[in-house]
């Protein structure tokens, strides 16, 4: 769901440095909030310092996992306009002073995202970014424990949280597997901590859970960008191995819960694996990755107002590119050909399309499709793994999911499991819920962060009841 934000994708908005007007009020820290595509918000701190007749300064992004201070290469203040640039991280800003609000009101580019950014002198506390009423707060009536386990095969150490009811005993355990992109143990998206909310509900109702930071995220080691969904499946199997060593776990009742891409990982880990007691697919694909791409693009294009004929024409244009990536060729060998295809596609684009970004920007913005993770998703065929799963499977989705179409994918999961003799299946569509299982209004991805609800309460209740009756 959500990678590429800080990648060097878009070009800069401003040119070379010029001398600024002397304005003592300019010095010091300026605070703002930048809103990303999924409704996610990131705080921005601009620290301006006098330098000769002009200014220098630094940029801080305190909400990044590894916050650092970056030096501006361009600081221009002229005729009430502030221009900032750091091409190293794809940051550019142009703002105009508004005396009434005592703020610079402008537009910023952060890598692949572009939007409004207002800068003022009032500090923005992190807790003011979102209202998340479902997020549990301590003290908790259950046990939480920081744990670490090692994937010795890939030389990766994973850090997570084990949660269980307070009373001594052996509990069924759910291992939670997050969606695409580097995710922390809570699968945090736009201030929503889906896995934390689920872990809280499970522990209050007799079920233990393990959730962990992805490779290279939080306290886990490893390199995320060089890993595929098959590597992540190794991590999931390692997590189960760790749980088997605990005395408070019912080792015959350890299951996998995957959200979106995490459901793919769960299917891989559960195939021909007798240690997996159950599998829960939350908005997981049942269709091959190549087909999923076409469906996703069609749904989003339809929401954008494109006609059916325009959507078909776009799919036809892009087909050779996606077919190349979905082939069995080695990633390194196909990259030059893929870039050449993209440049050819750009040249055949309309003048209106070319106004939106340059040729190089278009090529760079698709770099995220050329990672081991993205390629493994595109080439993934769920049926190859679903047919080898013999334990109970639950597959659920929201009817308003525009990333993984509920009807087509749930039907494919059910059909494959039944065809290969697994009748221990539960399929459920939740009316009015999106990809994150929120009760939505517009149901577009940009609404995820705007909604206060993290997950509709019906969903954890349904999952919990299913696990306890196995």
Question: What's the CATH code of the domain at 52?
Answer: 2.40.128.120
For residue 14, being part of any structural domain is answered with: no
pLDDT at 368: 66
pLDDT, residue 65, reads 64
Whole-angstrom Cα Rg for the chain:
24
Pick from 76, 94, 128: which residue ends a domain?
Answer: 128
Q: Does a structural domain hold residue 7?
A: no
- Note whether residue 36 is domain-resident: yes
Residues 279 and 171 both lie in one domain: yes
Sign of CA dihedral 291, 297, 300, 302: negative
Q: Are residues 169 and 308 in the same domain?
A: no
Residue range of the domain that includes 423: 142-288+380-468
Q: Are strands 249-259 and 171-177 parallel, antiparallel or unpaired?
A: parallel
Q: Are residues 216 and 319 in the same domain?
A: no
Domain shared by 167 and 123, yes or no: no
Does residue 4 form part of some domain? Answer: no
Residue 27 phi, psi dihedral angles, 5° rounding: -70, 155
pTM for this model (two decimals)? 0.87
Q: Are residues 36 and 122 in the same domain?
A: yes
CB 90 within 8 A of CB 365: no
- Bridge-partner residues for 159, per DSSP? 148
Whether residue 265 sits in one domain with residue 249:
yes
User: Does residue 350 belong to any structural domain of this protein?
Assistant: yes
Structure-token pair, residue 449: 């962060």
Do 175 and 276 have their domain in common?
A: yes
* Cβ 460 vs Cβ 134: under 8 Å: no
Peptide bond into 355 cis (omega under 30): no
Residues 173 and 307 in one domain: no
- What's the structural domain count of the chain? 3
pLDDT of residue 20: 38
Residue 5, in any domain of the structure: no
The answer to whether the CB of 203 falls within 8 A of the CB of 142 is yes
Residue 98 and residue 214 in one domain: no
pLDDT at position 222 is 96
Give a yes or no: residue 9 inside a domain.
Answer: no
- Say whether both 30 and 112 belong to one domain: yes
Rounded CA-CA distance 188/196 in Å is 9
Show which of 93, 128, 163 is a domain's final residue: 128
- Residues 464 and 359 occupy one common structural domain: no
**In terms of domains, do 350 and 293 share one?**
yes
Buried b (16+ CB within 10 A) or exposed e, 36-75: bbbbbbbbbbbebeeeeebbbbbbbbebeeeeeeeebbbb
C-alpha to C-alpha distance for 449 and 453, rounded to whole angstroms: 9
Q: Return the sign of the alpha-carbon dihedral for residues 195, 392, 164, 204.
A: positive
| Of the residues 376, 403, 420, the one at which a domain ends | 376
Which pLDDT does position 345 carry in this prediction?
Answer: 84
**In the chain, which residues have pLDDT < 50?**
1-24
Residue 430 located in a structural domain: yes
């Amino acid at each position: 769901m959500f990678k590429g934000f800080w990648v060097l994708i878009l070009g800069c908005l401003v040119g070379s440095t010029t001398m600024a007007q002397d304005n003592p009020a300019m010095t010091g820290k300026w605070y703002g909030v930048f809103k990303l595509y999924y409704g996610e918000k990131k705080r921005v701190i601009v620290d301006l310092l006098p330098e000769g007749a002009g200014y220098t300064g630094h940029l801080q992004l305190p909400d990044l996992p590894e916050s650092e201070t970056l030096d501006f290469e361009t600081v221009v203040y002229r005729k009430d306009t502030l221009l900032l640039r750091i091409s190293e991280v794809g940051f550019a800003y142009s703002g105009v002073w508004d005396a009434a609000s005592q703020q610079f009101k402008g537009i910023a580019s952060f890598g692949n995202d572009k939007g409004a950014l207002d800068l003022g002198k009032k500090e923005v506390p992190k807790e003011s970014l979102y209202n998340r009423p479902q997020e549990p707060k301590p003290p908790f009536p259950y046990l939480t424990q920081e744990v670490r386990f090692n994937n010795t095969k890939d030389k990766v150490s994973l850090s997570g949280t084990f949660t269980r009811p307070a009373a001594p005993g052996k509990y069924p355990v759910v291992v939670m597997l997050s969606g695409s992109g580097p995710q922390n143990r809570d699968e945090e998206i736009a201030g929503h901590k889906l896995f934390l909310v689920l872990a809280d509900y499970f522990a209050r109702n007799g079920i233990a859970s393990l959730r962990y930071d992805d490779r290279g995220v939080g306290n886990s080691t490893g390199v995320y960008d060089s890993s595929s969904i098959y590597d992540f499946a190794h991590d999931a199997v390692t997590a189960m191995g760790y749980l088997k060593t605990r005395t408070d776990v019912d080792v015959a009742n350890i299951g996998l819960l995957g959200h979106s891409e995490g459901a793919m990982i769960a299917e891989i880990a559960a195939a021909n694996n007798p240690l997996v007691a159950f599998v829960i697919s939350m908005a997981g694909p049942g269709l091959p990755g190549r087909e999923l791409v076409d469906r996703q693009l069609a749904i989003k294009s339809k929401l954008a107002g494109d006609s059916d004929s325009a959507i078909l024409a776009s799919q036809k244009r892009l087909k050779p590119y996606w077919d190349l990536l979905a082939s069995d060729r080695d990633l390194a060998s196909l990259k030059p050909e893929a870039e050449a295809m993209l440049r050819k596609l750009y040249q055949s684009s309309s003048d209106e399309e070319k106004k939106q970004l340059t040729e190089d920007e278009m090529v760079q913005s698709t770099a995220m499709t050329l990672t081991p993770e993205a390629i493994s998703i595109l080439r993934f065929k769920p049926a190859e793994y679903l047919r080898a799963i013999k334990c109970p499977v639950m597959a659920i989705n929201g009817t308003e999911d525009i990333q993984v179409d509920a009807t087509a994918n749930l039907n494919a999961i059910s059909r494959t499991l039944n065809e290969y003799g697994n009748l221990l299946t539960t399929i459920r569509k939740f009316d009015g819920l999106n990809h994150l299982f929120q009760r939505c209004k517009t149901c577009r991805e940009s609404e995820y962060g705007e909604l206060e609800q993290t997950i509709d309460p019906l969903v954890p209740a349904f999952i919990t009841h299913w696990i306890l009756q196995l």
